[in-house]
Amino acid sequence: QVQVVESGGGLVQAGGSLRLSCTTSGLTFDDYAMGWFRQAPGKEREAVSCITWSGDSRYYADSVKGRFTISRDNAKNTVYLQMNSLKPEDTAMYYCAADRANGGCVLTKDVYDYWGQGTQVTVSS
Identify the CA nearest to 67 among candidates 54, 82, 79, 80. Answer: 82
Q: What is the mean pLDDT of residues 93-119?
A: 94
Segment 23-55, tens digit of pLDDT: 999 999 999 999 999 999 999 999 999 999 999
Average pLDDT, the chain: 97
Question: How far is residue 32 CA from its own chain's centroid?
Answer: 13
Give the largest Cα separation in the chain, rounded. Answer: 41
Under 8 Å CB-to-CB from 52, ≥6 apart: which residues?
Answer: 33, 58, 101, 103, 104, 105
pLDDT for residue 71: 98
Q: Alpha carbon 76 to chain centroid distance?
A: 16
Residue 102's pLDDT is: 78
Q: How far is CA 4 from CA 96, 117, 124, in A?
A: 7, 8, 27
What backbone phi and psi angles, to 5 degrees, belong to 88? -55, -30
User: Which among 19, 37, 44 has a CA at the least distance from the CA of 106?
Assistant: 37
Question: Other CB atoms closer than 10 Å to residue 111's CB: what's the count?
Answer: 15
Q: What is the pLDDT of residue 101?
A: 80
pLDDT digits (tens, 9 = 90+) for 63-85: 999 999 999 999 999 999 999 99
- Percentage of the chain beyond pLDDT 70 is 100
Indicate if the pLDDT at residue 103 is higher than 90. no
Of 102, 108, 97, 74, the closest CA to residue 3 belongs to 97
Q: Give the C-alpha separation, 17 to 38, whole Å.
A: 16
